[in-house]
Structure 1
């Protein structure tokens, strides 16, 4: 029986190797400089290494061959469930230990397959290697958080208070917020222009960033960002919370959630606090200050929120969301940026 199992495993590995070669992925698996291999859409492979993101044309990386490859890898993982429209998200392990995150339609754009391969590091370094390479050269001595504003916060506050009657000061202020990777919440009622302005903010992010959007209806186009993936949730199907968890395994620079409305809210807040800061999202609320209590209530009503103290949720929300803009009939009528309040809360932790 053991021999039969091993032979079956060997056959699956051989099939995987054939598809890795035909799709053009194998050459990048063999490249020691490449750490991430990504496919967002057919016939294009993106890699990350010492030169940053690199884009390559690969006609073999078509949807048919990619799907054949993914089915083979799913079988290698003894997948209890097939990879299909009802199960469009998979976290898999490849034969040589690479981690693979897969999303297929309807959880991503039609005619696209999202594939993210993270290669395991085979190198080991001594502490002297780290020191000699300068990786400890700029360490700051961490201390208890204080209420004193950082230099970046002082700069942002000055831009925020540099009021002009025509609102022109908002361009340098919001650009500085994006550059500082602040989390921006856009608030308003239905038809207030929240999503339209969210796209404006998205266009202010550097074009070389990898952005993943999560929506129920596709509205957040990203024409200025080549390296992007659009993910979709729907009633009775894939949940937004599942997509957030999957997106965190897809090497994003930023995750944009179309709207905070349900049990995904806490997952999103957690994502912003685990290395994925610098985001844009929206929520329905009556003004900037009301958005805090609105978001706390949404989280508290979720299954995970029932297990958390409301005071803890409120403190986490207020120290995560940096800037709030309120829109009424496409006009921005309120803006919130109070780093002093955030620092005070952090100092009490």
Structure 2
């Protein structure tokens, strides 16, 4: 029997049975669906065509052979299911226009193979974040501004099924016993889920979307995030294997900038990335991506970020890239930077370069290492070359506001100097922030690396040319 050999068994008279909120169809789609507990149809009950959708869905589940379906790739599965849905509509005698039939078919397929009501939002490339606050409130961020959408889930049970489908695809779980989880979608988009009893309104799902076309520094220049001269400086620092820490607030573009800077790594280098939820998408041929693992039901088996960073040192990396530095792994990353792994990078949450250094110091202290504050600061000064500060401004735009060089540890403090800063000059008539990048002083300690890679003349030209 073929995957759809039971078409003749479609019952046009039987009422729609109770069926799963997210159909348990094992396919080659990026996100597999474990069988959920909720017995309700995955359709919006307040929709005028709810009864038709429920009937089609029930007949579809009765018709298909799940074992055969699981052997097909995602594209073939979607195409064939679309044909079956059209046949069911004809057999049951539903009177639907072509557009309405396509809309109903797309909604059912999204519930079976995708993420239900979120699929249209995921298809849009202009959305940076999707924020689901319970079943009836979905916000998106477009051009740095947050707006409410008309998208809703049928109930919190349907939303919970979507959350479980996402986290199960990366071998994780989310439930009352483990109510917080970080995961990712197949395209690398970052996902955070928090559910009852911690989230009071219902499951809260946050998706940091990745664009289909990977952003480059040139595109950031075109969008006004930085000047061409500032982009040249960052390219030089990355290509010259400077150790760089990207600092910024939530949603300020740290990971996006990190991805952009890795484009200037040499294709002959071996790069090892460490992340809580893998989202970096490096274009070099020799990349090893590592991801942390949460504890299992018994509280065992956890692989923390520090374990990954330590193991990196045994993997013969040329560069180590840490998606986000959050804890005691900061010390291991600095150790790596100090032991021949020049050009390593990471991101960190902080509002200024000075605050970033303080946070780095505090994170190292979390490891309970027998080091004095002075020894920790010297370790930071010796290992780190550059702090790049990103910021989301009040008009929603994201800008590079500082490029700061770390010099040395003297007089019980880390000495640093701003190479470049963003100077605010006013607002445009439409309320957009105006300004330019001011080049203050050329690199000092980094100049040896820059010279070694033949980039000294290009670098010095940026500072003699003036502001960008």
Normalised to the residue count of structure 1, the TM-score between the two structures is 0.48
Task: Mark the structure with the bigger radius of gyration.
Answer: 2
Which has the higher relative contact order, 1 or 2, with Cα contacts under 8 A spaced 6 or more apart?
A: 1
